[in-house]
Amino acid sequence: MAEYAEPWSKPDAVDYYARNRQEESDLYPSEKVFLSRVLFPGAKVLDVGCASGGFFNIMRSIEPAIDYTGIDIAEPSIEIARERYPEAKFVVTDGVDIPFDDNDFDLVHCTSVLVIEPRYQGIIKEMHRVANRFVLVDMRLLKGIGGVTDPKDSYYRIEFDGEFDGTTVPYVITDADEVVNFILSLEPKPIALRGTGYFHDVAAAARTPYSQVCMSVLLIQKGAPNNNRTEVDLGGLPIEFAAG
């Protein structure tokens, strides 16, 4: 866990997320498409990789009556979150080992994490386990790259406010068909998988073999234990999927 927590515990990273991504207006349009549809009064929400809790503020501006818990591996961010939002719950923990019961949350959300954290399967599996209704994640997808990019070949020079301090984090791009097949293999089988997204140029601070990536938001609807069919609607993504 320390290896993954270290770059995100540095003062610049902590400070950046404490000052940015706190309001609904800070979101990309694609990040809003599903969020407003899955929040409802009384929804119990788990936010994986919550940093200093900005999404609590964003979510409650969409739906004020939510019961929110945020988790993150970076303790300094969680300390700020607890101070800033005493009405929410925050826990320092790793998304691959979520300390909650099965089916505990209506919505399990994870934004801007699986783009810097290569262990997407472990995290989605845990998110799906603790969800009873919706799992919402964003990822960078490309066709035909066979798995997840190696952090040695695909990384991001962290430049908070334009300064590079020598810290890099993985710039994770994942094979589009592998992701869909993985989601369709979850137990219980999801009722639905929906997606939206767009291609964009790779960020200037990224070192990666690819020039464009498809930023994708995926909504998984958890199925009942005996569900045997998934409705796949990935028409909102500019990718031809072989899977699904």
Ligand X SMILES: C[S@@+](CC[C@H](N)C(=O)[O-])C[C@H]1O[C@@H](n2cnc3c(N)ncnc32)[C@H](O)[C@@H]1O
Using DSSP's 3-state secondary structure scheme, residue 11 falls into helix
Q: Give the Cα separation of 226 and 98 in Å (integer).
A: 24
In degrees and rounded to multiples of 5, residue 46 shows phi and psi of -115, 130
Residues near ligand X (CB under 6 A): 4, 8, 17, 21, 48-51, 54-55, 71-74, 77, 94-96, 111-113, 116-117
Q: Give the Cα separation of 81 and 50 in Å (integer).
A: 9
Q: Half-sphere exposure (CA, 13 Å, Cβ side) for 214?
A: 24
Give min distance, CB of 4 to ligand X, in A.
5
Give min distance, CB of 54 to ligand X, in A.
5
Give min distance, CB of 14 to ligand X, in A.
8
In the complex with ligand X, the residue whose CB is nearer, 19 or 143, is: 19
In the complex with ligand X, the residue whose CB is nearer, 202 or 230, is: 202
Angstrom distances, CA of residue 168 to CA of 108, 183, 201: 27, 29, 19
Give min distance, CB of 244 to ligand X, in A.
27
Q: Give the Cα separation of 119 and 56 in Å (integer).
A: 24
In the complex with ligand X, the residue whose CB is nearer, 58 or 237, is: 58
In the complex with ligand X, the residue whose CB is nearer, 13 or 177, is: 13
